[in-house]
Structure 1
């Protein structure tokens, strides 16, 4: 029996900004911070893409952290 895997969904810059309700400038600042755990984009040609699974993992890690 063959395993069926979920296709990797790729989100472009505009989709990531919509997902987090941020501007593209804010996204750039998050990517520039060395201490930021925000996922780095995958670059194909001149375009940047984020894997939805990596963003989901980032969100889950943020929810799991205590606020103190």
Structure 2
């Protein structure tokens, strides 16, 4: 649980580099907060979103976001 909580904190408050796994998860989970409130619950991975059919596909951007 500690690792999950640390990842959760970083996904919300950190600044992962473009192209990294945590950058992708931050974009994915941000979609949950700002677009699909009833989907994209995953913080550290998308496993349970696959299981519960709450997976969303986040469009690739032509540029990296600065968090």
Return the TM-score normalized by structure 2.
0.27
Which structure has more RCO (C-alpha within 8 Å, separation ≥ 6)?
Answer: 1
Larger radius of gyration: 1
